[in-house]
Structure 1
Amino acid sequence: MVMAPSTLRSFVFLAWISVVGIGLLGLWLWDFAPGENPLPLIIGSRPRVTVRQGVIVGSEVKTGYPQTLEMFLGIPYGLSTAGERRFRPPVGVNASTEIFDASKYGDRCPAGPSRDGFPQSEDCLNLNIYRPKARDESKKLPVLVHVHGGAFNTGFGSNRQISNLVAWSAEPFIGISFNYRIGALGFLPSRLTAEEGLLNLGLKDQALLFEWVQENIAAFGGNPDDVTLMGVSAGAHSIGHHLMHNTDRPPPFHKVIIESGATTARAVYTPTNPMHEQQFQEFLTELGFQDVPEPYIMDELRTLDVKKIKEASDTIFNIYNPSIRWPFQPVIDGEGGMIPIPPIDAWRSGKWHKVPILTGFNTNEGAMFVPKTISTASQFTAFLHRLLPSLSKDDLEILNDVYPDPLSHPDSKYVETRKGVGLGAQFKRLEQAYGHFAYVAPVRQTARFAAADGDAPVYLYHFAVNSSVIGGADHGNHAPFVTYNRDIRERSDSIEEISGLMHAYWTSFITTGDPNAIEGRYPDRLPWPAYTRDAGKLIVFGAGNDEYAGGQNKGTAVQIMDDTWALEECRFWWARTELFEL
């Protein structure tokens, strides 16, 4: 066996192309994935790269970008996870001499909705590579690996325009996106799965991908000694965990971009946490496995149709989603695991890889998650106590002081002023409290711990563009600004400027480790200062701009400010991090 048969797409018309290739310059194939532009693939020139697993044949894209890109899509980095390999650590692909047609995206991992017609299957461990055609082939290019988000229950590799990020960069680099197992198939915490060594499989998929990059990216013109990881939300949480994994050896990356996430984000429990055990039992019951003897459960799960596994996984997620008590999450898996100790303990003991970090948060991180109509103070407290049962009565009393009730405190900054859009009186208060707990405080925790060490620079940002009336600068709203998406560029001149500046800072960091080093299209942009714990400065993007939300205010594209926004609230959450890692 040389490669999983179901992943191998034989490229049967290579000989024909060699004869009539020039005549095919006008022939277009369209390949579309949400987050990516439609890809008109010109077959007339098909770049070929030979690696251990075979010959990878890509395609050129000449439309929709400022330069021609070469793309290699759907390349397997692991064998199919079906059958006996389900609920087991991933296995890398074997050596081969096969020719692989890399002109189409591979299957996505089974979890979440699939409304766009793209197939999901357990043969989903695949990656996509984007590189500029015009490059100095004598030099190895920096490499970006993007880890997708989606609450560890949804999402796929091509859901962000990494190709756009590459194409508009002033300095060349290679971009990579990939799929990894999510939902119950990737993260199924419980006492049983812990005993069988089956925790955090999705993080292990990611680690296998990083190994693949180290072994193979040089063949594509990339530098394995200059790799940046980048991700939003669950992708950012993942990178935070890898930042603290195997700290006794050199990491397979050299810089990280952690957007709206962190290793201490939300809650990282042990696998035997009562909520995880309850969700595991509900998952088994959904499958009719409640009476299966424990020694046979995992073997029996491996025999089921994957559609049933996916349906049960999605069902349990949807039950818990309204309360944001998401199932199927990474957990502390002990010595030798992906998260060997509580993340806050790793920070305090100095156990992380000392690499340059670019990280940040959005103003309204919690808006998309919390109920819109919550209206009373008791509902506010009850929602957070259900989400975080380890908060004591005293903690909840302090919480209500830190976030003053807008109904009893008319001067509270959490008074809801938006009328006629269906928002309850406690919505602003709750979305800010949840956003601070889950994202803002953990991001700043990363910045403060890493900056205090001083071994590598840290750059902190705050994204403040008001992107909708209800959501504001919501979770993930910054993502298309960074990749300089067409719909962002065409919204207004000021929105384009904010997006262009963010793209310039990010790509400069990717290619040099310094967001200021490459001038690009914005040579006069404000210098972004490295963060220091004692006198922290951060960069703020788009404060006061509401054009994307239908307003007329242009705001300020970029400014440097002291790191003081919502500081009291973050201190409340920092003092209680241990309560969310039990």
Structure 2
Amino acid sequence: MRTFITALLTLAIGASATPSRRGDSGLPKAHVKNGTYEGVYSPEYDQDFFLGVPFAQPPVDNLRFQLPQSLNSTWEGSRDAKDYSLLCAGYGLDQTFYNQSEDCLYLNVVRPAGFEQKQLPVGFWIHGGGFVNGGGGDQRYNLSFIVEQSVKIGKPIVGVSVNYRLSAWGFLHSNEVVGEGITNLGLRDQRIALHWVQENIAAFRGDPRKVTIFGESAGAASVGFQVQCLREVPFLKLNATIGKHSETGSFAPTIDGDFVRNYGSQQLKEGQFVKVPIITGANSDEGASLGPTGINTTEDFKVTLSKFLPLSFQDAILEAYTDDLSVNVVASLGDQRPAPPYGAQFRRSASFWGDYYFIASRRETSRTWASHGLPAYAYRFNALPAGVPPEVGAGHFKEVSFMFNNLEGVGYRPDILPFEGKGQSYIDLADLMSSSWASFIYDLDPNKYNGRDDKIPKWPKYDLEDPQDFVFDANVTSHAEPDTFREKGIALINDNALGVLHR
């Protein structure tokens, strides 16, 4: 997965909402600042669902391409919160399975039933999808499974998932956009949702002092558009126009000097980050999912590098990433070279692309946290779900079903159900991962929970003197390993992150 970071928020905003209680009808109710929501009780999971809860005003009409606005109305009686909202307008395969709308700034809350006298830690899930597709209602991110697991291990949590504006709707960029101060709207949607959680999560038995963000993210790009005239275009027409160009360009977070103040590498170097414990990791074969194919020779590899790197740095990359199958990704292939369309040197190229996109920054993040004396738990996911070609290996996104404990493959296509035909070791791995994440959300320790297998080593904190990541694997016992693989190449990327790679 793209560098996966989990962090505890301790925002100094007090909770003013009233703890929730069931009404006479037996349906769960939550009394937030604006009014009362009535949710759904699931006897199957013994959980209360509050779905499609608005956290901001609909970003439509004059609020299109504007900063998210807090809710400004109240009501008497109860409003239903029983169905997922539409997803935010986006573009890509994932989006085709769900209805979409501009009116999409909603979140979902899943809590274990009971616990009336407790305020539980909160896990706040931010979906991935390259900032161009996805949504909090994507069934693959079903919060019921990880919330259920949290109760099972004696560390109950409340789960929250959120929508945010995508593509041009959320990440339009031009000089005019910067001048109006309306950049990175999707990120600002997430921020206002977190403020809403601070003000209201106590109504759902969540503890606003213990909110943990977890999710996945992707790269950035920008295209300039004229802002004011686009507010006057009908949604369906503008949506079709953006979608038509989604294959040749994307809209994602950009440096604006405000919300995103500088390159990530520079902010890490200068200590400009929130000092909280984190989980950060990536999958073994990230580059096999996202790197180019048809790489048969060194020249093929160099051609892909020449599109964005100076000549001298291309040669340095080629020297650092040799054609050595013993150290390159997709280890499941052993000494085999991938067949077409991947190419004889695909594994060499994919090693670089995985490090470039995710793994190098994961290592630098871990090192930076450790250098500041902050707890950081690094991981490498190394299991192949069902339906995955061996050439792709433990590629991008493949860990999500394990972390959510989605054993039934809810939300996945029938031909790629992650656990179909897999043995007990895969179920055990999902149990380990979901328990570790729930445990971290509960008290910032992924190791201490009821029922943890004593045969599995503890997940160590990252240490500069002895850097280790934890390998989540289904074929061998999960274990800690030295975080030194592809050391030369990853160091080359990190040492030149700002000056050459501009990130």
When normalised by structure 2's length, the TM-score is 0.85
1:422 is displaced (CA, Å) by 3.3
1:521 is displaced (CA, Å) by 5.0
- Could you list the runs of 4 or more consecutive aligned residues of structure 1 that deviate by over 4 angstroms after TM superposition? 113-117, 409-416, 418-421
Alignment of 1:109-508 (within 5 A): 109-113=88-92, 118-135=98-115, 137-159=116-138, 160-169=141-150, 170=153, 171-234=155-218, 276=222, 279-280=223-224, 297-320=226-249, 327-334=250-257, 337-386=258-307, 389=308, 391-404=309-322, 406=323, 413=328, 417-418=336-337, 420=339, 422-454=341-373, 456-467=374-385, 468=388, 469-487=390-408, 491-508=422-439
Q: Deviations over 1:536-569 (max 9, x none)?
A: 1221111xx5xxxxxxxxx213111111122222
| Cross-structure match for 2:32 | 51
Q: Deviations over 1:463-490 (max 9, x none)?
A: 1113431210001101111111123566
Task: Show structure 1 runs of 5+ residues with no match.
Answer: 1-16, 22-44, 235-265, 269-274, 285-296, 321-326, 546-554
**Cα pair 1:504 1:522 within 8 Å, conserved:** no
**Cα pair 2:337 2:345 within 8 Å, conserved:** no
Distance 2:338 2:356 in 1: 26
Q: Structure 2 vs 1, CA of residues 413 and 105 (structure 1 numbering), >3 Å: closer, same or farther?
A: closer
1:519 is displaced (CA, Å) by 2.7
| Cross-structure match for 1:518 | 449
- 1:533 maps to amino acid: L
Alignment coverage as a number of residue pairs: 456
When normalised by structure 1's length, the TM-score is 0.74
| Cross-structure match for 2:53 | 75
Q: Deviations over 1:255-313 (max 9, x none)?
A: xxxxxxxxxxx5x6xxxxxx74xx43xxx5xxxxxxxxxxxx32210011222322232
1:168 is displaced (CA, Å) by 1.6
| Cross-structure match for 1:84 | 62
DSSP-derived class of the 1:164 partner: helix
Q: Which has the higher contact order (CA 8 A, sep 6+)?
A: 2
Distance 1:419 1:204 in 2: 43
- 1:451 maps to amino acid: A
**Cα pair 1:109 1:124 within 8 Å, conserved:** yes
**Cα pair 2:283 2:382 within 8 Å, conserved:** yes
1:376 is displaced (CA, Å) by 3.4
1:89 is displaced (CA, Å) by 0.5
Q: Structure 2 vs 1, CA of residues 516 and 411 (structure 1 numbering), >3 Å: closer, same or farther?
A: closer
1:431 is displaced (CA, Å) by 1.8
Q: Structure 2 vs 1, CA of residues 311 and 534 (structure 1 numbering), >3 Å: closer, same or farther?
A: farther
Distance 1:419 1:562 in 2: 27
DSSP-derived class of the 1:214 partner: helix
| Cross-structure match for 1:11 | none
**Cα pair 2:360 2:490 within 8 Å, conserved:** yes
Distance 2:232 2:130 in 1: 27
Distance 2:325 2:358 in 1: 27
Task: Show structure 2 runs of 5+ residues with no match.
Answer: 1-22, 409-417
Q: Structure 2 vs 1, CA of residues 300 and 540 (structure 1 numbering), >3 Å: closer, same or farther?
A: same
Percent sequence identity over matched residues? 32
**Cα pair 1:464 1:473 within 8 Å, conserved:** yes
DSSP-derived class of the 2:227 partner: helix
**Cα pair 2:294 2:340 within 8 Å, conserved:** no
- 2:268 maps to amino acid: W
- 1:156 maps to amino acid: G
Higher-Rg member (1/2): 1
| Cross-structure match for 2:479 | 559
Distance 1:393 1:418 in 2: 27
Q: Structure 2 vs 1, CA of residues 464 and 202 (structure 1 numbering), >3 Å: closer, same or farther?
A: same
**Cα pair 2:338 2:344 within 8 Å, conserved:** no
DSSP-derived class of the 1:368 partner: helix
Q: Structure 2 vs 1, CA of residues 348 and 520 (structure 1 numbering), >3 Å: closer, same or farther?
A: same
**Cα pair 2:291 2:354 within 8 Å, conserved:** no
Q: Does 1:536 align with 2:456?
A: no
DSSP-derived class of the 2:288 partner: coil
Q: Structure 2 vs 1, CA of residues 520 and 410 (structure 1 numbering), >3 Å: closer, same or farther?
A: closer
